[in-house]
Amino acid sequence: MAFEMVTQTSRIEWRISEIPVDYQAAVDAMEARVAAIGAGTEPEFVWLLEHPALYTAGTSAREEDLLDPHLLPVYRTGRGGRYTYHGPGQRVAYVMLDLTRRGPDVRCYVYRLEEWMIRTLACFGIRGERRDGRVGIWVAQPSGAEEKIAAIGVRVRRWVTYHGVALNVDPELDHYRGIVPCGIVEHGVTSLKALGVRATMSEVDDTLRAAFGEVFEVTGGGGTP
């Protein structure tokens, strides 16, 4: 059974799972929590975890982007986006927030998820950037190449969010060879370790929590900040 640390700050409960969590079990838990948040019986929730090595296919996934269907298990999921990879060494953050209180604007919410990743990376000396037409957060290499370091895929049910972000800390990057990540063929993927940052998962978690407070603890209406 996974060791989990649960804390609560303000109206948000945080959970950190210390060993990889089965993907379908995580989805089932999110579904239940989203319903409870919508009913007002449970607080908002952020869950930091890892998964065993696997691929997920979002609602826009194309079969041609699954390059090797036998390399890793594939899970169909209700989040937006195409194929992505999850595995040990990648910090997944499932974010369940009530947008009826924070501003019912999905574009603004995604912008804030991006900002969360950008501020987290900045704490490790990495410049993470948005790119028009490309979901996620990107790092420009000295060669001019651009590589994704954080993926974003969300779903919203009755204005309660779930799924979230995945930050590459030290995953097995070779596992990405089985898919076209997010349908983008001309760019690669990277991680904190590949960029020379040897951060522990605990250090990443602490940074994520601090940056989250900067971005999300101020509630407000719609629109891009």
How much is the pLDDT for 16?
98
Per DSSP, the three-state class of 117 is helix
Question: Is the Cβ–Cβ distance between 187 and 146 less than 8 Å?
Answer: yes
Please confirm, yes or no, whether 182 is among the known catalytic residues.
Answer: yes
Q: Which helix (H) or strand (E) element contains residue 35? A: helix 23-39
How much is the pLDDT for 22?
97
How much is the pLDDT for 180?
86
| CATH code assigned at 35 | 3.30.930.10
**Would residue 61 count as lying in a domain?**
no
pLDDT along the chain (225 residues), means of 10: 52 94 97 97 97 93 92 91 94 98 95 98 98 92 92 95 97 94 76 97 98 79 40
How much is the pLDDT for 88?
98
**Would residue 210 count as lying in a domain?**
yes
**Would residue 63 count as lying in a domain?**
no
The active-site residue out of 99, 182, 204, 215 is: 182
Number of domains forming the structure of the chain:
1
**Would residue 72 count as lying in a domain?**
no
Provide the residue range defining the domain that includes 126. Answer: 4-53+84-216
The residue with tokens 């990277």 is 190
**Would residue 68 count as lying in a domain?**
no
| 49 bridge partner residues | 92
**Would residue 62 count as lying in a domain?**
no
First to last CA, the chain: 41
**Would residue 221 count as lying in a domain?**
no
How much is the pLDDT for 221?
39
The number of residues making up the chain comes to 225
Q: Which two tokens stand for residue 190?
A: 């990277």
**Would residue 70 count as lying in a domain?**
no
Q: Which of 146, 133, 95 minimizes the C-alpha distance to 116?
A: 95
**pTM higher than the cut 0.85:** yes
